[in-house]
Amino acid sequence: MITGAWLQEIKWSSDGLVPVIVQEADSRQVLMFAWMNREALALTQDEGYAVFWSRSRKKLWRKGEQSGHRQKLVEIRLDCDEDVLLMSVKQIGGIACHTGRQHCFYRKLQGGKWIEVESVLKDPKLIYGQKS
């Protein structure tokens, strides 16, 4: 399915990537921002759960593979310039951020400073450190 016509309509970057905004389907909270290559997007569509391309690790990244905090696909949208995706998901476990918060945008600009305004729901050590 990596050759699907819908994949060709996306204007991929010179690195073969597209930015993806991930939003919680019900609350519309923006959870995170990541990147996909063709394979990640095709897998997301086929498997029904978010798969990204990790630019730092240079490999496919099945969101939640370690934490269990998978993102069940609800809908994928493409923007007017065909170079950005908006993906609605159901966030399993209610935690999207690797810091243990609901989402990644937990710092708010206030009085000229970035202030943390979202609570840690689960200690990252418990999310990633222990396997039983």
Residues that bind its own copies (CB under 8 A): 4-6, 9, 19, 21, 23, 27-30, 32-33, 45, 75-81, 84, 86, 97-99, 101, 104-109, 112-114
C-beta closer to its own copies: residue 111 or 132 = 111
Q: How far is the CB of 132 from its own copies (least distance, A)?
A: 26
Contacts of 110 (CB under 8 A, 6+ apart): none
55 or 126, CB closer to its own copies?
55
CB of 113 to its own copies, least distance (A): 6
Q: Write the DSSP assignment of 94-105 as a string of letters.
A: G--STTSSSSS-
Q: Which two tokens stand for residue 88?
A: 């609605």
Given the complex with its own copies, which of 41 and 131 has the nearer CB atom?
41
